[in-house]
Amino acid sequence: MRGIFVTGTDTDVGKTRVCAALLAGAPADWRYWKPVQTGLADDPGDTAMVRQLANVSAVQAPDVGVRLDAAVSPHFAAQAAGQRIELATLRQQAAHMLGAGVFAVVEGAGGLLTPLNDRETMLDLARALALPVLIVVRVKLGAINHALLTERVLRDSGVPTVGFLLSGDADPSLESALRVHARVPVVGRLPECQPDTPPVPHGERLRTALREILS
């Protein structure tokens, strides 16, 4: 499987908007997939958001996977629904939807160590899918520490890391710190904009940066 696994330094850091930017105007073989989604009792979900912002169809952004109502961590939302999230099931779904000839943009839920069940986390899902990880970093106070901790976990786990993608306004102190202290590059930045503003203009630039790193 070709593609990337998009994680974040926290929840609500801009992962979905980054995914929408990557899919906006992308080649027909690009696919977006959100394996695990919580909070659907009060929200249409990230797949719906990507379809709207990137203007892609259900073919490029299939709404398949674990879907849970409670707006809490996946493991707890699954327990509340009398379910258990299984990596084997998610791997099977990935193999069915994201096979040969597809470039997959897979979005995790929350951060890298968000639990899926009593043993496994989003890190285990990224490892199971054998995809390199792109770390989305919200530009804010404390971002340096969160970003470097996330990169360290990936490095120690042996999971390949594409780099950091910054979400928000320009912050020279954050960018310089990551360039000095991290072992992966800053891929680019998605500027702050209104929630319903399509990030189409940034898509080609981000895809080009990824192609250069992944080639």
Q: Do residues 17 and 141 touch, judged by C-beta distance below 8 A? A: no
Nearest 5°: phi and psi at 98? -120, 50
Calculate mean pLDDT across residues 33-58: 95
CA atoms within 13 A on the CB side of 134: 30
- Predicted confidence band of residue 7 (pLDDT cuts 50, 70, 90): very high
Calculate mean pLDDT across residues 5-16: 94
Identify the pLDDT of residue 214.
Answer: 84
The rounded distance, in Å, linking the Cα atoms of 2 and 116 is 23
CB count within 10 Å of CB 11 equals 15
The rounded distance, in Å, linking the Cα atoms of 195 and 215 is 32
The rounded distance, in Å, linking the Cα atoms of 18 and 196 is 13
Three-class secondary structure of residue 77 per DSSP: helix
Q: Which of 196, 195, 203 is nearest to 165 (CA)?
A: 203
Q: pLDDT > 70: what percent of the chain?
A: 96
Place of tokens 């043993």: 119
Amino acid found at 39: G
Which residues are the active-site residues? 34
Calculate mean pLDDT across residues 195-212: 79
CATH class of the domain comprising 2-214: alpha beta
At 147-200, the pLDDT tens digits run 999 999 999 999 999 999 999 999 999 999 999 999 999 999 998 765 666 666
The rounded distance, in Å, linking the Cα atoms of 12 and 114 is 13
Identify the pLDDT of residue 96.
Answer: 87
At 93-152, the pLDDT tens digits run 999 888 778 999 999 999 999 999 999 999 999 999 999 999 999 999 999 999 999 999
- Residue ranges in 44-121 assigned as alpha helix (H): 46-54, 74-80, 87-97
CA-only gyration radius of the chain, Å? 16
The rounded distance, in Å, linking the Cα atoms of 92 and 140 is 37
How is residue 135 written in tokens?
Answer: 């770390």
Q: Note the pTM of the prediction, 2 decimals.
A: 0.94
Query: Is the pLDDT at 75 greater than 90, yes or no?
Result: yes
- Predicted confidence band of residue 62 (pLDDT cuts 50, 70, 90): very high
Identify the pLDDT of residue 142.
Answer: 92
